[in-house]
Homo-oligomer: A and B are copies of this chain.
Amino acid sequence: MARSTLYQQVAGELRRAIYSGELGPGAQLPTELDLMDSHEVSRNTVRLALAELENEGLITRMRRRGSFVRDRRALLMRPQDELSASPGVLRREAFAEAVTKEGRKPGQEIEVSIVRPPEEIAARLELEEHALAVVRRRLRYVDDQPYNTNDSYFPHALVRDSEIARPADITRGANRVLEELGHRQVRVVDDISARMPTPEESSRLQLEPGTPVVVYVRVGYDRDDTPVRVAVSVLPSDKHLIRYELELS
């Protein structure tokens, strides 16, 4: 590898301090002047180093207040929990439950509409050409901060007369309503990937620079192997950790 430049050396030392925990979440970095002094470099070099760490999502720079290690306290998502309840048991929707379990406050804004879904969604729902879907678009909050989005698509023909097509919260969760309609999901396929956010996502989720999003798509199938729900979650990577537990039978 090429010998690293001066600013990369400064960035490297700060990075090690952050990864090792020496500079923990929320900790303030030394000031620009202190860094110039301790590393015997110019202000420009210090600024390049800080810009690099900001782009990596490790620090936040605040005008006049200095630079801080980002809080990487992530919400633990367990995609398996959504399925674990036995059919009869009434419980809360999975996200609200995960947040409450951590002693934090869940919230959401919801918008329900009937749409011709994007091609990829229509394919996953195995819809006929021109068939409609009901989409429930949610912006979710934790402790009043926007946290993630979840857009759930359902075949319109299936859910048109149910609560799913009405613009209100469903406390017991849409999956329970699908059950009541005779379409309990017995199998799900979860696809997980990551990318940089679109400008709309950055603004809606109030993302800081250098924050990728995890895109988590779940397709749920009923016992006839018909897809009855496609849920697309956009999860800012600094705020979420996804965990699966698998047992060998």
**Interface of A toward B, CB cutoff 8 Å:** 1, 4, 8, 11, 15, 20-21, 52, 55-57, 74, 79-80, 83, 119, 184-200, 203, 210, 212-214, 237-238, 240-248
Contacts and interface: CB of A to CB of B under 8 A. Distances in A.
B195 A242 contact: no
Contacts of A56: 195-198
Copies of this chain per assembly: 2
Nearest to A214: B194
A186 B189 CA distance: 22
B195 A237 contact: yes
Given A243-B190, A248-B83, A1 B57 contact: no
B247 A244 contact: no
Contacts of A119: 20-21
Given A245-B187, A245-B188, A248-B187, A237 B83 contact: no
Given A186-B248, A187-B248, A203-B1, A196 B210 contact: yes
Nearest to A193: B241
A232 to B, nearest CB: 13
Contacts of A21: 119
B246 A188 contact: yes
